[in-house]
Amino acid sequence: MDNQHNLPEAFLENMKRLLADEYGAFLNSFSEGRKNALRVNRLKMTADEFEKDAPFPVRRVPWTENGFYIDYRDQPGQHPWYRAGVYYLQEPSAMVPAAVLPVSPGDRVLDLCAAPGGKATELGARLGGEGGLVANEISSSRARALERNIELFGIRNCVVSNETPARLLERFPEYFDGVLVDAPCSGEGMFRKDCEAARAWYPDKVRECSEVQKEIILQASDMLRPGGYMVYSTCTFEPDENELVIAHLLTCRDCMELVEIPCGGGRESFARAFSMEELAGKGYDTSGYAHADTRGAVRIWPHRSGGEGHFIALLRKRAGEKHSDRKRAADKRSADGSKNIDISRGDYQLIAQFASKYAPGINIDIDRCVVKDGRVYLMPEDCPDIKGLKFLRAGLYIGDLKKKRFEPSQELAMALEPSRKLAMAFGQEAKPLCEPGNTLCRAALNDDLPADDGVRVYMSSEDKRLQSFLRGETVRLETGGENGWRLVCADRWPVGWGKLINGVLKNHIPAGWRKGA
């Protein structure tokens, strides 16, 4: 072990061989502080709005549209906007893989190794509610964390599955427009921020990971539709887990080609991946892969970029059109098949009535409502066939049917759009409503009385009653508003349901969602 940083000797030897002249700078980077960042949820706020209104100092991460450096001493994980799913705390290099995968609304996207959801949440947000995301995780315990993050982000059109890549491939050959493989790896890029990762490392781990990665990447590419794009990424430095895995794919699947990731536009500090020739010169076994061109992929080195270590390759399957193009063409032909209805008309009426008041932005089609043990799910419009697969959720759990009543779910609250009307000062009908960014809003929201427009209650993120509500407590409102459901918002963003009864807001945030839970 290296005395200063407790890094495994064999790892240091590998890095010396790989980095040559840059090895000293690389080692020095272990003494530098790590950079913390967050990524803004596009479904809830634009990056420009966030930059203007952020509740603590932020600075843009240069290589991605919606990433911001932050100071952890500002406790961004404690802020109500975090609880409202406005942002995800993420290491800045880890933002790159999802950022470089071309995704547009209407696409079918797969995140094959998705937990806890750092990339899946960005991919889902980029779909903007159209098309569908399959966020898969092989470990069932990790899949639960993934599910929670998808819910927190308010992503409606997602299936969270818990399957092996092989089982998914049986069901989805050449199905997806975009695939992300953020592969399990030896984690060397995380050594700087996570001493445990360094302790868990052993020389053979690299070889073991490489074997798994070579298998996964072929399965992933077989799920990609001709014309579709795939990103392969790791957080490790070893060529055996990076360039040589890409070379393996390019050698085994001649339909796949590497697409160069441009290193301009804020990505100047990224390094080009090694070529087979360079690796052979450094003593790596490139036999069988000599003709594979891997230079278009990129490496993020901590001593060059400040972020943790990453490898990212963008690939494309030759020819073909994207699903979203075909779907648009099919929509034009307005094909209309017979509809499968899973819910009684009466129950649907209850939901539709509730939705017309509280969730006007969500299209609740009767043929997309599925009822299971009284729980109502709204399936994605273009839901893949998941019968027989292990999955945690499909679409959005919108609430429960209870004795001729409909009770909305926390997941529905999180998926509802932020209010354009930031706040309505209580008791002053049609008082000019604040728009985001207007400092007057802050003043209105800091007022002692929370605003109540009969559907939503807006509380300032600085209001102590909001903290109480997030902990699951009942809150006295005294707004004089009519009794009934209220969608409680932290500033503009929904955080859960309350029921107003004679000036008292009863808390309906489920136990597992409460602050401190």
- Position 154 contacts ligand SAM (CB under 6 A): no
By CB under 6 A, name the one of 67, 116, 124, 498 that touches ligand SAM.
116
Distance in Å, CB of 383 to ligand SAM, minimum: 22
At what angle are helices 243-252 and 203-222 packed, to 10 degrees? 40
By CB under 6 A, name the one of 114, 258, 369, 475 that touches ligand SAM.
114
By CB under 6 A, name the one of 106, 117, 380, 418 that touches ligand SAM.
117
CA distance 1 to 22: 20
Query: Alpha carbon 129 to chain centroid distance?
Result: 13
Helices vs. strands in the chain: H and E counts, helices first: 18, 24
Q: What DSSP designation does 513 have? A: G
By CB under 6 A, name the one of 138, 169, 364, 378 that touches ligand SAM.
138
- Position 140 contacts ligand SAM (CB under 6 A): no
Nearer to ligand SAM, 297 or 470 (CB): 297
- Position 445 contacts ligand SAM (CB under 6 A): no
CA distances from 160 to 135, 157, 224 (A): 5, 10, 18
Nearer to ligand SAM, 305 or 507 (CB): 305
* 494, 504 contact by CB (below 8 A): no
In 315-337, which positions are buried (b, 16+ CB within 10 angstroms) versus exposed (e)? bbbeebebbbeebeeeeeeeeee
- Position 217 contacts ligand SAM (CB under 6 A): no
- Position 155 contacts ligand SAM (CB under 6 A): no
Largest CA distance in the chain: 77
For residue 498, give the 3-state DSSP assignment. Answer: strand
Distance in Å, CB of 160 to ligand SAM, minimum: 13
- The encoded tokens of residue 21 equal 């002249």
- Position 307 contacts ligand SAM (CB under 6 A): no
CA distance 502 to 485: 12
CA distance 12 to 431: 65
- Position 151 contacts ligand SAM (CB under 6 A): no
- The encoded tokens of residue 43 equal 């479904």
Question: Which of 113, 209, 235, 434 is the catalytic position?
Answer: 235
By CB under 6 A, name the one of 15, 61, 206, 216 that touches ligand SAM.
216
- The encoded tokens of residue 215 equal 């298998």
- Position 107 contacts ligand SAM (CB under 6 A): no
- Position 184 contacts ligand SAM (CB under 6 A): yes
Task: Give the Cβ contact number of residue 431 at 10 Å.
Answer: 13
By CB under 6 A, name the one of 76, 124, 129, 165 that touches ligand SAM.
165
- Position 113 contacts ligand SAM (CB under 6 A): yes
- Position 418 contacts ligand SAM (CB under 6 A): no
Nearest residue to ligand SAM, using CB?
Answer: 118
Distance in Å, CB of 133 to ligand SAM, minimum: 13
Nearer to ligand SAM, 118 or 399 (CB): 118
Sheet holding 451-452, edge to edge: 451-452, 456-459, 484-490, 493-501, 504-507, 475-476
* 382, 396 contact by CB (below 8 A): no
Strands (E), 443-492: 451-452, 456-459, 475-476, 484-490
- Position 89 contacts ligand SAM (CB under 6 A): no
235 tagged catalytic = yes
By CB under 6 A, name the one of 35, 42, 119, 156 that touches ligand SAM.
119
Write down the residue that tokens 């590998």 correspond to: 14
Nearer to ligand SAM, 110 or 355 (CB): 110
Distance in Å, CB of 165 to ligand SAM, minimum: 5
Nearer to ligand SAM, 232 or 493 (CB): 232
Write down the residue that tokens 């307005």 correspond to: 334
Q: So which residues are the catalytic ones? A: 235
Q: Which residues bind ligand SAM (CB under 6 A)?
A: 113-119, 137-139, 142, 165, 182, 184, 212, 216
